[in-house]
Every structure is written in structure tokens, then in C-alpha cells.
Amino acid sequence: MKVLVAGGAGYIGSHCVRQLQAAGHSPVVVDNLVFGHRAAVAPDVPFYDADLGDKAAMEALLKREEIDMVMHFAAFAYVGESVTEPRKYYENNFVATLRLLEAMLDAGVKKFVFSSTCATFGVPTSLPITEDLPQAPINPYGQTKLDVENLLKSFCHAYGMSFAAFRYFNAAGAAEDGTIGEDHNPETHLIPLVIDAATGRRENIKIFGTDYPTPDGTCLRDYIHVDDLARAHIAAFPLLEKAGAGHFYNLGTGTPNSVREIITAVEQVTGKRVPTVEAERRAGDPPSLYADSSKAIRELGWKIKYTDVTAIIETAWRWHRDHPKGFGS
């Protein structure tokens, strides 16, 4: 398959590009490099610096490269910022995706894979989170992702598009060969911040909330290796052969880990002590989020390689240790 990877220079997109190559597909990357890194994309992969919202440019690209399918990872994903600057999120995550889908229809490309999020569930009504739980996002970031999910259902019904949408839990880790990994600016995610605290690049890690109704009082999350996420996407390709069909999958390991457990695991992996500070809860954090991924396992034959969070952190540690300034190292 010739696959256009939108956001292919970003964290999850760049890992997916590698997995596509490993599976014998031909990725083409489009990324405006607002958050992506040119160095995250191998030189042998065709690269376009363009905006998804530029319909004419995208339509021309789809035709020129004779693309069979689009995978879409390009989005803003800072939950707090989405609350204070929702315009940016609706524009970039929703409107630009609508333009991309229009370009696809006009170019005759009808297969689509979409990065969604467990944030579409808001505070879940039960745990673990299955695909059919009510979706009620509690911030504009989650809302824009849910809006795209609904847009896809309509386009699938009306225009015969086929799609798979994946609700990621907490993407983590780095490529096994240590060549690419997580590099956000600013970084807000727990594992890279704890690693920074372990190496002294930051003074400490603030634990946001110690009075949650969880076993150790800190939030529970489901950390899933970025390459496991990528492999699920590729496993869904056969489903896209059927026109007019849409599929949703939750992707996590199903094992919840608390903030304190992550800190302990980073200490074990790095052999360094992590200074911690107990802080107030962060607004908008649900106490517990973890997946029931049995649908993906059953229907896609998805196999989770990294079932243990320590193994995930080992890959992250290798990347951060060898690239202290991320792609700028």
C-alpha cells in the first residue's frame, strides 16, 4: 500500500512510518513541522512540508503520489491549552481534517485511519473502557477528536469511505533500535518528565494529586508502547477493503499503573533516584483510565508485545539517555 502519513514527523506518526516500512508498505509523509521533527523521518521516505487544511495542495499530493490510503496523526494534543485556546483545536484538529477528507474524496482516495483518544470518553462510566461506553469528553481536545469520529461515520455512510479509528490510551516508549522517540516541546507527559527528573534535567517530578480514589491515591493510566499502537493500525488494513465500513478500537494494554508506580519503575530502569513533590490535582484529570482492548485483539489479531510497563520505560530510557536534547541531540 502507498500510505500518506499525515503527521508522520510526530511521535506516534514517525513510529508508524517505521512499522509501515517493516511491513512492506510505502509511506509518504506530510507534516507542517509545527510539532514534528524532520529528523524523525528517514531520508528514504518522501516528505512534504504542507498544511492538511490546504485542500488544493493535499489533493495534488494525493494524486501525484498515487496514494491508496491516508493515516492521520496530525493534531494538537495539549489538553490544558485546548481549554484556554479552543479555536486552535477546532481549527487544527477538526477543520483541517475536514479539508483533508474533502481532498481525499476529490482525489478518489477512500481509505482512512484516524488517531483518536481515550479522552473522548471523558470520565468513563465504568472500567475497563470498552468501545461502546458513552463518550462525553471533558475538554475541547477530546471533543475535537470525537467530532472527527462522528464526521467519519457520516462520510462513510454518505460517500462510501472506509475507516478505522483508534482510541489511544497513554502512548509511551520509543523505537527498539533507539533511533527515534518522544520529543515534545513543551513536554507534559509523565514518563519523559520522570526520566528528566531522574537524570537531573529537571529538579523533581510533581505528582498531580495524591488523594484520588485509587490504591495509592495517584491517577491510574494505561501506558501502551508506541510501536504496539502502530502495529494495530497496520493490522486494520484488510478491514478497509470493504467500502462504507467504519471501525473503532480502544488500544491499551489493559493494565493500569499509578503515577507512583511509574516513578518507581523509572528508578528501577535508570538506577537513579527520582525526587518527587506532592502537588495539587491537575484540572481535568480523570482518576482512572484503562482499556478493554479485547475487540482489537479478537478482530485484528493484534498482539501486544510490551505488556509490562517496565519494558516500555526501558525503551524510553534508551532514547532519552542517548538523545538528551531529543532530535536536536
Q: Which residues contact 221 (CB under 8 A, 6 or more apart)?
A: 169, 170, 190, 256, 257, 259, 288, 289, 290
H or E segment and range at residue 47 = strand 47-48
Which of these is catalytic: 11, 89, 90, 141? Answer: 141
Would you count residue 221 as binding ligand UFG (CB under 6 A)? Answer: yes
Residues 286-305 binding ligand UFG (CB under 6 A) are 289
Distance CA 93, CA 116 (A): 11
* H helix count then E strand count, the chain: 11, 13
Q: Which position among 152, 207, 235, 312 is part of the footprint of ligand UFG (CB under 6 A)?
A: 207
Q: Measured from the CB atom, is 61 or 75 closer to ligand UFG?
A: 75
Judged by beta carbon, residue 163 or residue 223, the one nearer ligand UFG is: 223
Place of cell 475538554: 139
Of 9 and 58, which has the nearer Cβ to ligand UFG? 9
C-alpha–C-alpha distance, residues 258 and 272, integer Å? 19
Q: Could you say whether residue 12 binds ligand UFG (CB under 6 A)?
A: no
Does residue 193 touch ligand UFG according to CB under 6 A? yes
- Indicate if 141 belongs to the active site: yes
- What b/e string do you get for 208-245 counting C-beta neighbours within 10 Å, with b at 16 or more? bbbebebeebbbbbbbbbbbbbbbbbbbbbebbeeeee
Nearer to ligand UFG, 168 or 237 (CB): 168
Alpha helices by DSSP H, the chain: 11-22, 55-64, 79-84, 86-89, 96-107, 140-159, 190-199, 226-235, 259-270, 294-300, 309-322
Q: Does 219 bind ligand UFG (CB under 6 A)?
A: yes
Site string for ligand UFG, 113-142 (x = CB under 6 A): ----xxx-----------------------
Contact window for ligand UFG (CB under 6 A) among 24-32, 43-51, 188-196, 298-306: 188-196
Note whether 19 binds ligand UFG by CB under 6 A: no
Q: Which residues are catalytic?
A: 141
Could you list the residues that contact ligand UFG (CB under 6 A)?
Answer: 77, 79, 117-119, 168, 170, 188-190, 193, 205-208, 219, 221, 259, 282, 285, 289
